[in-house]
Structure 1
Amino acid sequence: MNSALRETLAALLAFDTTSRESNLALIGFIRDFLAQRGVAAELLYDEGGTKANLYARLGPAGDGGVLLSGHTDVVPVDGQRWTVPPFALTERDGRCYGRGSADMKGFIACVLASLDRFLAEPLRLPLHLAFSYDEEVGCLGVRSLVAHLQASPQKPALCIIGEPTEMAPVYGHKGKVAMRCQVRGRACHSAYAPDGVNAIEQAAALIGHISRVGASLRQTRDTRFDPPFSTLQVGTIQGGAALNIVPQDCQFDFELRTLPDADAGAVLESIAAFARDQLLPAMQAQAPESDVTFQPLGAYPGLLTDPQGDFARWLAQWSGSDRFATVAFGTEGGLFDEIGMATLVCGPGSMAQGHKADEFVAVDQLERCMQMLGNLCDWMRCE
C-alpha cells in the first residue's frame, strides 16, 4: 500500500463520523484536500448545519462522465469489544483496521489517493465526486445531493458506489422502507380491563397481520437475490407502564425490504387498511380517542442495472472481475438510478467485516481498488 493511500486512510479513520455525530470535520478535510489540488467543492448542509454532503467535479465542462459516490458516516462502536482503537488506523497482517475501513472510508481514501493521477491527465469526460452523510440511517443525507445533480445541466451519466463488494461488480439490491407504528388506546385499572383499550393487544393483532403479509411475500421470487423474495419484519416494540394498568400506548418499528420491481406501497397500504378497517372501528367504539398512526423512518429504492450493458462491461474491465452479483444490503444506488444515472456498486472490502468490532479492509482489496480507479482514468483519458 503506497504512503499516500495509507496517510489518507489514517486521516479519514481518525474522524468519529458515527451517524449521530457531525461529519463536518471530515468533510472539511476532504474539501481542503481538493482545494490544495485546485479542485473546488460544493457543500450541501442539513437543516441544522451540523452535517454536509460534498460534491466536486474535475475534467472538461459538459454533461456526462462518471460519478464516484461514498458515504462518510459509520455505525456506532458502542457495546462492541474492539482489540484495536476504533477511530485510528491499525495495520497488521495485511489488514487495515478501524471503524469504517470497509464501510466505506477505504473506498473514499482510494478515490482521494487517485486524484493526482486524474488531474495529471487530459480527461475527455468529467469525473464527479459525491460524499454523503447519514447513509447508515436510511440514505437520508444523499437526497439533497441527488436533487442537486438532477437539477444540474451537467449531470453524470454513470455512477460507481464504492460499498464493500470485494471488488466484484454488483448490479442489484433490494429497496427498503422503515416505518414506525404508534397505537393509542385507553388506560384504566387492570381490574376493569374491559373498560379500556389495550394498546399492546391491538399492536399484537397488527403485528400478527404483518407476519402474515410477510409470509405471503415469499410467493414472488427472484433467484438473483438472497433471500429470493421481499421480506417484512418487526424489529422493536415498546409499550405499557405497569402490569396493573391497561396500556394506553404501544409503539413498534418494522421494515420492508423489497425486490427491485415490487410494489412497496401496496404492501404498506394492506397493513394500514387492516388497522383502519379491522382494528380501529372496535377500538374507537370503546374509546373514540383511540388511533393507529404510521410514520416513515426512512426509505430507498432498489437497484437493478443491466449486467449485460456497456457500463457493466466497462466496469468488469476496470475492476478485473466479471463476477456480477447482487447484495443483501442497500445503497443510494437506486436514488441515482431514478434520475437517469446508470449505477453499479463496486468497492474494496467485505460487508462481512462491516458493522463489527475490529472492522477491517484487506490491503490487497485497497490495491485492487486503486487499480480499478487507474483503469478508469485510462479509459477517461483523451486519446
Structure 2
Amino acid sequence: MTDNLLPAARDILARLIAFDTTSRNSNLELIAWVEDYLSQRGVTSARVVNADASKANLYASVGPNVEGGIILSGHSDVVPVDGQDWLSDPWTVTERNGLLHGRGTCDMKGFIALALAAVPLFKDCAKPVHLAFSYDEEIGCLGAPAMIEEMAAKLPKPALAIIGEPTMMKVITGHKGIAVHEVEVLGHEAHSSLTHLGLSANMVAVELMHDLAELARGLWENADPASPFIPPHATLTIGRMQGGTAPNILARRAHFVFDLRCPPDVDPEAVLAPFKAKVAALDGEMRRTFPEAGVTITRLSNAPPMAPAGSQEAADFVRSLTGDNGPSGVVSYAAEAGQFQQAGFATVICGPGSIEQAHQPNEYLAVEQFERGADFMVRLVQALV
C-alpha cells in the first residue's frame, strides 16, 4: 500500500507548497483546496474561522462515527522566506539529492500531505481518523484552540491525537510552552541635545531589554540539571525591536517583542512577575513627568506546554506504528500538542523530518523521511481495520 500512497502524497505536497500560507497571509485558498479534495472523496469537513474570516481551521472525520478514533493534526501556516537565500523557488517542491526542498515541506505540510493521501484508506477503517488543520501556529499557536474546543464538543471521543511536527518519526511526549509579549514605550520628543526637555522611548526600551537579558541569564544559571529538555531551562529571547525617528530626536515610540518558553513545571507568570512590576513602576514614573508617556506590556499568545505524564498508552501505540523502540522524548519547541492535551486528549508528537530544517533557507524533507511517514499511515490503517 505504501507504494500506492507515495505518488499521491507527492502530488498533494506539491499543491500544498504552492500556496503561500506565510502566517501574515490568508490560508483560505489552501483550505478551499483541501475541502474540495475531501469532498471529492465523500468526506465532509468543517471550517472554524478567525474573527474576520480571513483564515480558517479545518477538521474532518473519515470513517465511522464512533469513539476511539485517531486525530492527525498539522498547521497550515509557514514562516516567511524574506531575506533568506534560497537555491530554488520556495513555493515549488524541488528534489535535489534525495531531499524535497520547499517552504513547509518539513514544517509541516509533508505530514498533512501524507494524511490526505491516506484518506481513501481511512474510509474502510473500523475506527475514524479525524483530520485537524490549523492556522497561525507559527505566531503563537493562535488558531487551534477554537477548533480543538469544537472537536471536543462534537466528535465521538477519540483515543488520542498525533501532532505531526517533525521528529524524525520519533515519539515525543513533552514540549515547552510559549508566551509571547509585546512591550510598547511612549516617550516625549525633543531635540537630542535637550534631554531635560524630553524622554527617549529608546532609552527606556534599552533599560527594559537589559532587564530581560539579565532574566534570561538567570534562567540559564539556575537550570535544573535533571531536566530532560535541551536547553534544560526556560528560555527568553527578544525577537523584534524598533524605535525612534532620527539620531537627533529623542524617540517618541519604541517597541519590542519577546518570547518565553517554559518547561511544564515552570510558570511563565511567576518568571515574569518581577519584570511586570518594574514595567508598572516605570509607567507611573514616566506619566508623572509627561502624562502622554508610559510603558505597557501586552501578552500576544500563551500556548501551554505538553507534559509527559499520562501519555504512556498513546506513546506505546504510536511506537507500534513507527517501530521506534527507544524511550519517548521531549522537545524545546512549542506546538499545538499542549492545547490538545489541555482539552483532555491523550497526545503525542510524531512526524517526518527534522526540526533543525524548519524555518531554514532551502528547508527540506528527506525522501526517506517522507517514505517513513507513508509507512506510518499504512500501519495506522492496518491498526484501525
TM-score by length of 2: 0.92
Which of 272, 275, 286 is the equivalent residue of 1:271? 275
Aligned residue in 2 for 1:159: 161
Aligned residue in 1 for 2:123: 119
Query: Quick check: 71-80 or 223-232, which moved more?
Result: 71-80
Contact 2:180–2:300 (Cα < 8 Å) also in 1: yes
Change (3 A) 1:15 1:285: closer
**Secondary structure of residue in 1 paired with 2:64:** coil
1:69 and 1:286 mapped to 2: Cα distance? Answer: 52
1:151 and 1:137 mapped to 2: Cα distance? Answer: 26
Runs of 5+ consecutive residues of structure 1 not aligned to the other structure: none
Which of 78, 81, 89 is the equivalent residue of 2:82? 78
Q: Tell me the amino acid that sits aligned with residue 309 of structure 1.
A: Q
The Cα shift of 1:369 comes to 1.1
Which of 343, 351, 356 is the equivalent residue of 1:347? 351
Which of 343, 362, 380 is the equivalent residue of 1:376? 380
Does 1:182 pair with 2:184? yes
TM-score by length of 1: 0.93
**Secondary structure of residue in 2 paired with 1:8:** helix
Change (3 A) 1:306 1:192: same
Aligned residue in 1 for 2:317: 314
Listed as ranges, the matches of 1:199-278 within 5 Å are: 199-218=201-220, 219-221=222-224, 222-277=226-281
Aligned residue in 2 for 1:197: 199
Query: Quick check: 4-13 or 257-266, which moved more?
Result: 4-13
The Cα shift of 1:281 comes to 4.3
Aligned residue in 2 for 1:299: 302
What RMSD in Å do the two structures reach over aligned CA positions?
A: 1.9
Q: Tell me the amino acid that sits aligned with residue 298 of structure 1.
A: S
**Secondary structure of residue in 1 paired with 2:149:** helix
**Secondary structure of residue in 1 paired with 2:118:** helix
Does 1:287 pair with 2:290? yes
- Aligned-pair identity in percent equals 42
Count of aligned residue pairs for this structure pair: 378
1:65 and 1:360 mapped to 2: Cα distance? Answer: 31
Deviations along 1:65-110, one digit per CA (max 9) or x if unpaired, are 2100001111222222222222122233322222111111111111
2:101 and 2:88 mapped to 1: Cα distance? Answer: 7
**Secondary structure of residue in 2 paired with 1:190:** coil
Change (3 A) 1:256 1:16: same
Contact 2:244–2:251 (Cα < 8 Å) also in 1: yes
Which of 337, 341, 363 is the equivalent residue of 1:359? 363
Change (3 A) 1:87 1:162: same
Aligned residue in 2 for 1:141: 143
1:289 and 1:357 mapped to 2: Cα distance? Answer: 43
**Secondary structure of residue in 2 paired with 1:202:** helix
1:195 and 1:71 mapped to 2: Cα distance? Answer: 50
Query: Quick check: 172-181 or 290-299, which moved more?
Result: 290-299
Which of 2, 6, 10 is the equivalent residue of 2:14? 10
Listed as ranges, the matches of 1:1-150 within 5 Å are: 2-121=6-125, 123=126, 125-150=127-152
Contact 1:176–1:302 (Cα < 8 Å) also in 2: yes
Change (3 A) 1:160 1:308: closer
